[in-house]
């Protein structure tokens, strides 16, 4: 078909966490510009399987840009060259015929490689679990206006909750910090009255889990916000710091 492309892929291949990895080169032939990046990899994998070779392992689930599973480093950028999209929403029209595309997993000690492009992101789960729950009365649903919430706070909490936990912030940070992820999770509760009951202990516990998992300190370069597919703001990190210092001053 006219308009299709031939690309060269340099893909990181690694058998497991303990083995060493290396780049291997594969052709991606007759690629439609309307394919998503993952669809292109599916076609490459079909060719590898037909040739009796191991397919490239990569994470994926919804393929709709809302789960964050499709995390990979493409040509030196988290999720590829386009801003505000996950890898599954990146289309091959973002590349041109003859391009060489370098594909790697997230690079962070807290995200060990499981196989090829798949990393273990359970450290994010550990951070969220450390945050615990919020205290609410159970039973029938309360009246919608029983707890007034300022519109600005509700909007900011919603924006923070949009974080999908893909790990692009960690991959983009030179210190492999997860502060953007952590601050978004703290903010979505800290901004709402329902989250204030456990607020002081929550931020302490989540920061402790972050550091124990091996994530680095914030670099203040804002690379995390620039590469975040959901546009999570670094203003959340400032809120995280205020929440932490407030918990320390209170002494609770």
* Model pLDDT for residues 29-52, shown as the tens digit of each residue: 999 999 999 999 999 999 999 999
Lowest mean pLDDT among 48-52, 65-69, 97-101, 135-139: 135-139
- CATH for 66: 3.10.20.30
pLDDT (0 to 100) of residue 163: 97
Judged against a pLDDT cut of 80, whether residue 245 lies above it is answered with yes
Last residue of a domain, one of 114, 130, 152: 114
Whole-number Å distance between alpha carbons of 243 and 40: 44
**In the chain, what percentage of residues exceed pLDDT 70?**
98
Whole-number Å distance between alpha carbons of 234 and 18: 34
pLDDT tier at 2, thresholds 50, 70, 90? low
Last residue of a domain, one of 114, 134, 168: 114
Question: Do 220 and 236 sit in the same domain of this protein?
Answer: yes
Question: Do 176 and 240 sit in the same domain of this protein?
Answer: yes
Judged against a pLDDT cut of 50, whether residue 93 lies above it is answered with yes
- CATH for 188: 1.10.1060.10
For tokens 């060269």, the residue is: 8
For tokens 């052709």, the residue is: 27
Question: Do 64 and 132 sit in the same domain of this protein?
Answer: no
Taking the model in full, what pTM does it have?
Answer: 0.92
Question: Do 166 and 222 sit in the same domain of this protein?
Answer: yes
65: left (phi over 0), alpha (psi -120 to 50) or beta: left
Question: Do 134 and 242 sit in the same domain of this protein?
Answer: yes
Whole-number Å distance between alpha carbons of 145 and 30: 57
pLDDT tier at 208, thresholds 50, 70, 90? very high
> Which token pair is 198?
């456990």
Question: Do 141 and 228 sit in the same domain of this protein?
Answer: yes
pLDDT tier at 1, thresholds 50, 70, 90? very low
- Total domains present in the chain: 2
Question: Do 98 and 138 sit in the same domain of this protein?
Answer: no
Q: What is the separation, in whole angstroms, between the first and last Cα of the chain?
A: 67
Question: Do 143 and 62 sit in the same domain of this protein?
Answer: no
Question: Do 102 and 148 sit in the same domain of this protein?
Answer: no
Report which DSSP code applies to 92: G
Range of the domain at 171: 122-250
Question: Do 58 and 142 sit in the same domain of this protein?
Answer: no
Question: Do 109 and 131 sit in the same domain of this protein?
Answer: no
Which H or E element spans position 240? helix 235-250
Lowest mean pLDDT among 11-15, 132-136, 167-171: 132-136
pLDDT (0 to 100) of residue 148: 87
Judged against a pLDDT cut of 90, whether residue 102 lies above it is answered with yes
Question: Do 81 and 200 sit in the same domain of this protein?
Answer: no
Whole-number Å distance between alpha carbons of 134 and 189: 8
Report which DSSP code applies to 12: E
pLDDT tier at 141, thresholds 50, 70, 90? confident
Reference 174, options 240, 223, 116; nearest CA is 223
* Model pLDDT for residues 156-206, shown as the tens digit of each residue: 999 999 999 999 999 999 999 999 999 999 999 999 998 999 999 999 999
Residue of 34 and 146 predicted with greater confidence: 34
Which H or E element spans position 202? helix 199-212
Last residue of a domain, one of 98, 114, 130: 114
């Amino acid at each position: 078909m006219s308009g299709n492309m031939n690309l060269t892929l340099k893909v990181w291949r690694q058998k497991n966490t303990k083995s060493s990895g290396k780049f291997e080169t594969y052709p991606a032939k007759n690629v439609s510009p309307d394919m998503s990046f993952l669809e292109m990899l599916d076609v490459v994998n079909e060719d590898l399987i037909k040739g009796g070779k191991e397919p490239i392992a990569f994470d994926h689930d919804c393929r709709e840009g809302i789960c964050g599973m499709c995390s990979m480093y493409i040509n030196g950028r988290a999720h590829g060259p386009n801003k505000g999209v996950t890898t599954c929403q990146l289309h091959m029209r973002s590349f041109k015929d003859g391009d060489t595309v370098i594909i790697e997993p997230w690079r962070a000690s807290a995200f060990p490689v499981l196989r090829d492009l798949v990393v273990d992101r359970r450290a994010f789960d550990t951070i969220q679990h450390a945050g615990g729950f919020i205290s609410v009365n159970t039973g029938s649903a309360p009246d919608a206006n029983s707890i007034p919430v300022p519109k600005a706070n509700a909007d900011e909490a919603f924006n923070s909750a949009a974080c999908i936990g893909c790990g692009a912030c960690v991959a983009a940070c030179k210190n492999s910090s997860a502060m953007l992820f952590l601050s978004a999770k703290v903010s979505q509760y800290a901004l709402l009255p329902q989250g204030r009951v456990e607020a002081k202990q929550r931020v302490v516990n989540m920061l402790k889990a972050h550091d124990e998992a091996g994530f680095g300190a914030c670099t203040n370069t804002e690379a995390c916000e620039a590469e975040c597919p959901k546009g999570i703001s670094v203003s959340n990190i400032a809120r995280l710091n205020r929440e932490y210092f407030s918990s320390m001053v209170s002494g609770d």
